[in-house]
Chain A
Amino acid sequence: MADAAVPAREGGGAPGDAGPGTDASDSKAAGDQPRGPGAGALLGWLFLLPALVVLAVLVAYPIVWSLVRSLYGADGWSDFTGLHNYKELFTDDDTFTALKNNLIWVLVVPAVVTALGLVFAVLTERVRFATAFKLILFMPMAVSMLAAGIIFRLVYDHDPDKGVANAVVVGVHDAFSEGAPYPGARPRGNAGFDAAGGGFVTKAATPAGGTALLPLVALTADKVPSDAQPAPLAPPAPGAGVSGVVWLDFSPGNAGTPGQVDRGEKGLPGVKIEAVRGGHTVGSATTRADGSFTLPASATKGGPVQLRLAESNFATSFGGYDWLGPSLITPAIIGAYVWMWAGFAMVLIAAGLAAIPRDALEAARVDGATEWQVFRRVTVPLLAPVLAVVMVTLVINVLKVFDLVYIVSLGSSQKEANVLALQMYLASFGGGNNQGLGSAIGIVLFLLVLPAMLFNIRRFRRENR
């Protein structure tokens, strides 16, 4: 409360533009004003006048105007179309996408942000640097959606050498899976292979004791490892298994015979060969430095096998996700939004947590409740009103989201990222020039926040009873 934080400064507080009458009324005798605080209807309306005029002209009147305008078409007042604009909301592709995306936003963002805020608020109670942590997480609230948009376009840049998101994704990916040794390579066209899910399988089955020649092409010489040995002219002895050679079937100057190992052609080490029978992998081998391999007898025990060159040998290197592309754009923008708002949820919930009587928690602990039970059965129910306020605030703000979507999706996937507030702008100002549809979208947004408005009014009346 005001509690003496700022004591009343007698005579010092009046700004220069105090308005007429301030000083004059000072000199009046005390008896001239026979009323207590709060008398005088006229004075009340005078104090209210500026605010009422502004609100009436720039807020109330526009709502009514938009409501009426939404019943007319793009051509203006001569073009009465009834509810057509509202129908178009659900039938027009762009607007419907916007509606659908708004629904996703409203379903995902408040829940995620509130959950994160709750977790952070509870955890920060246990560390010394709680204040610093809250400051850091709350900071994005002070940043404009535009700046956040620019920040996250940088983060989401597709090139892993520029965007930190893809740099991390590619880094993690490469740490856990080695890159394919021969990206883009494929068997020679007439060598008897079927393509199988990015890899290749021989058409013919090789029996025990058989050999196979697996010629690869479409590989530049610099992709051949420096430790590769010339391929043996004949495969090694298969024994009871299967042997073969994988090599780059290409001699400089086209001197060699396609499908045959020619002198000087290099073997390809490190290719993974799998023996397949009836759809099951029954054995595998990796080629040696000269490209030769031998599958053990166990692979062919049950009969002839087909040889598969797995996809992992040829996959082109992973370049990260296309965050700003059509399919990921909405989750990407939502990520940026969560970044902005998690601190808000955390600070509000932390304030709510601080107001929970410690006795209630201690009593539960004394009764033998685990920390999780205390959290689930005591803390969360006591926090419910705060959580509701956070959720409602987020729903309202999420419905109105515009800048962030506009900036992040600019020039890439605006159609896919569309939301109502953006579509409203595009339809009425950004080239669409259909103020009827724009008004209808405005009215729909207004209707969507009405429940929140009622929630506010009810909360206010309850707290002031």
Chain B
Amino acid sequence: MSATVTAPTEPTDGPEVSDGGIKRGLASRIVARTGGGLVSVGLVLVALFWLMPTFGLLVSSLRDPKEMDGSGWWKVFSSPGQLTWDNYDSLLSNDDMMRAFFNTIWITVPSTVLVILIGSFAAYAFAWLEFPGRDWLFLVVVGLLVVPVQVALIPIAKLYGDTHLFGTITGVVLFHVAFGLPFAVFLLRNYFAGIPRDLLEAARMDGGTDLTIFFRVVLPLGLPAIASLAIFQFLWVWNDMLVALIYADTDSAPLTVALQSQSRAFGSNIEVLAPGAFLSLIVPLMVFFAFQRYFVQGVMAGAVK
């Protein structure tokens, strides 16, 4: 199944698009054209509608705070002089926000790397090693896919309290690794299992052990799935607020938490919130646009998480 992940965003060249070759009746051509025209106009409107909220945030983050109180962001269309980098200047010189930004990176990168490492070991075992209880154990992992974090928040808080992990980046990272693992194992195991057995046999013939096969054959061949997992986990951790809200303290808080504490006093500090929110979403958006094929594959393979 999902080892064969297709790229879903491929444009579908419907027959009605290429009307050059096919001879059709004038009437049906007009119907197709105008019907298609209506659909096109409708979809363009929907797309604009979908872009507007984010665009509003972007414009707000670029406006002079003095103008923001009492006039909408769309006023920049009539007076573009309001646009300024000032908000970003003060954001970049805001120590709390900058520390939170780097905390986000220190939380996200290790969480992603660890999940890939631990997950792919386990996935290889589930896909290619025989041991008693393997299949039902994997079903347990499939079951764990949907466990809500809420069921673990309190006990892990206790655990972290006892082990002095509370308020540390390590604690936040470990939590994300734990709750990212079921998806990682699930995604990678399905992909690894689709690698042709011949390739592994051949490596074995050449004297490869399970470790060499894992590193030299399975991991390289599994790169597309690993890329999907990496992006998915990266976005999941980068965008998390709840886990960090509970386990991070002021010094280890990521951007999301820093922004939510700002938004408690909403209205007065939109000049901090808007650029901050944009900073927090521009990184995922860049990842999304750069790797959207893998991202979509990850979402598709992991639907139901």
Contacts and interface: CB of A to CB of B under 8 A. Distances in A.
Given A25-B212, A131-B9, A453-B145, A154 B56 contact: yes
A123 B42 contact: yes
Name the residue in A13, A63, A66, A348 with the highest tally of chain B Cβ atoms < 10 Å from its Cβ. Answer: A13
Given A8-B216, A145-B239, A147-B281, A33 B209 contact: yes
B105 interface: no
Contact of B215 (A14, A144, A160, A167): A14
A181 B208 CA distance: 88
Contacts of B208: 25-26, 33
Nearest to A460: B142
B88 interface: no
A229 interface: no
Interface in B229-278: 235, 238-242, 245-246, 256, 259-260, 263-264, 266, 270, 273-274, 277-278
Given A403-B241, A464-B1, A457 B122 contact: no
B285 A126 contact: no
A161 B4 contact: no
Contacts of B212: 14, 22, 25-26
Given A6-B223, A62-B156, A131-B11, A33 B122 contact: no
Contacts of A44: 125, 129-131, 134
Contacts of A410: 260, 263-264, 266
Q: Which range holds the interface residue count of chain A?
A: 35 or more
A150 B259 contact: yes
B63 to A, nearest CB: 11
A331 B225 CA distance: 37
Contacts of A435: 154
A48 B216 contact: no
A111 interface: no
Contact of A10 (B154, B216, B238, B296): B216
A439 B154 CA distance: 7
Contacts of A25: 208-209, 211-212
A136 interface: yes
Interface string B87-118: 00000000000000000000000000000011
A13 B219 contact: yes
Interface string A112-136: 0000000010011111111111111
B181 interface: yes
Contacts of B300: 347-348, 351
B234 to A, nearest CB: 10
A36 B204 contact: yes
A19 B256 CA distance: 35
A376 B173 CA distance: 47
Interface stretch (A217-225, A298-306, A422-430): A422-430
A30 B207 contact: yes
B223 to A, nearest CB: 5
B30 interface: no
Contact of B152 (A38, A41, A66, A163): A66
Contacts of B20: none
B146 A456 contact: yes
Interface stretch (B21-29, B67-75, B77-85): B67-75
B43 A154 contact: no
A126 B16 contact: yes
Given A18-B215, A142-B288, A147-B281, A41 B194 contact: no
Nearest to A342: B50
Given A22-B215, A47-B125, A143-B239, A124 B155 contact: no
Q: State the main secondary structure of chain B at its contact with A.
A: helix
A458 B38 CA distance: 42
Interface stretch (A187-195, A257-265, A289-297, A389-397): A389-397
A144 B151 contact: no
A22 B256 contact: no
Contacts of B214: 47
Contacts of B263: 149-150, 153, 407, 410
Interface in B46-80: 46-47, 50-54, 56-57, 60, 68, 70-74
B284 A142 contact: yes
A424 B274 contact: no
Given A13-B220, A347-B300, A350-B8, A2 B191 contact: yes
B199 A8 contact: yes
Nearest to A11: B216
Contact of A443 (B151, B191, B270, B281): B151
B131 A51 contact: no
Report which residue of A33, A128, A150 has the largest number of chain B beta carbons within 10 angstroms of its beta carbon.
A150
A445 B150 contact: yes
A303 B122 CA distance: 92
A321 interface: no
Contacts of A406: 241, 260
Interface string A192-232: 00000000000000000000000000000000000000000
A449 B8 contact: no
Contacts of B52: 164
Given A61-B155, A144-B239, A463 B304 contact: no
Interface in A352-396: 354, 389-390, 392-393, 396
26 contacts: A1-B3, A6-B224, A10-B216, A13-B220, A25-B208, A45-B131, A48-B122, A50-B121, A54-B174, A58-B156, A63-B147, A65-B155, A65-B158, A130-B12, A131-B10, A136-B47, A142-B284, A146-B241, A154-B60, A400-B149, A400-B150, A424-B153, A428-B153, A449-B147, A455-B304, A456-B304
Given A48-B122, A137-B50, A151-B53, 15 more contacts: A6-B221, A12-B220, A13-B215, A13-B217, A21-B211, A37-B197, A48-B125, A51-B121, A58-B159, A138-B292, A144-B280, A147-B278, A152-B53, A424-B150, A456-B142
The 10 closest A-B pairs by CB, nearest first: A144-B239, A58-B178, A44-B131, A351-B8, A62-B152, A51-B122, A47-B125, A44-B129, A142-B288, A41-B131
